[in-house]
Amino acid sequence: AQSVAQPEDQVNVAEGNPLTVKCTYSVSGNPYLFWYVQYPNRGLQFLLKYITGDNLVKGSYGFEAEFNKSQTSFHLKKPSALVSDSALYFCAVRVNTGRRALTFGSGTRLQVQP
């Protein structure tokens, strides 16, 4: 079975400050990890993914994430937050064999204050 944990329901950060949204995962096998963002009443937009290779992955809108195998984590980061980054963020995982559907974390709401 595969699972994803996002321990924070909400993260508050001031505009211009760095932000981190946490994600840990559990899978049997090699993980494929993803971050998506969702704006109100909208579908999910892809931010970035880790498949293999460099542990630091850079994605859309200045976001990046670091794959840490020993800690089974894939935290989302951005050096300088914008008010427009305020949204719901989902971490997702799947393994590279068998069922290819994504398992999502519970989501973290990011609130960036001006």
Partner 1 sequence: GAVVSQHPSRVICKSGTSVKIECRSLDFQATTMFWYRQFPKKSLMLMATSNEGSKATYEQGVEKDKFLINHASLTLSTLTVTSAHPEDSSFYICSARDGLESHEQFFGPGTRLTVL
The verdict on 1 binding partner 1 (CB under 8 A) reads no
Q: What are phi and psi of 110, to 5 degrees?
A: -100, 125
- Residue closer to partner 1 by CB (options 5, 82) is 5
Q: Per CB under 8 A, which region of 11-19, 43-51, 66-74, 79-87 contacts partner 1? A: 43-51
Q: Which of residues 47-66 bind partner 1 (CB under 8 A)?
A: 49, 51
| Nearer Cβ to partner 1 (18/58) | 58
Per-residue contact flags (x/-) with partner 1 for residues 69 to 88, judged by CB under 8 A: --------------------
Under the binding rule (CB under 8 A), the answer on residue 36 touching partner 1 is yes
Nearer to partner 1, 13 or 33 (CB): 33
Does 95 contact partner 1 by CB under 8 A? Answer: no
Distance from C-alpha of 108 to C-alpha of 11, rounded to nearest angstrom: 7
| CA–CA dist 62, 106 (Å, integer) | 23
Residue 26 pairs in a beta bridge with 3
Per DSSP, which regions of the chain are E strands? 3-5, 10-14, 19-21, 24-26, 31-38, 44-50, 56-58, 64-68, 73-78, 87-95, 103-104, 108-113
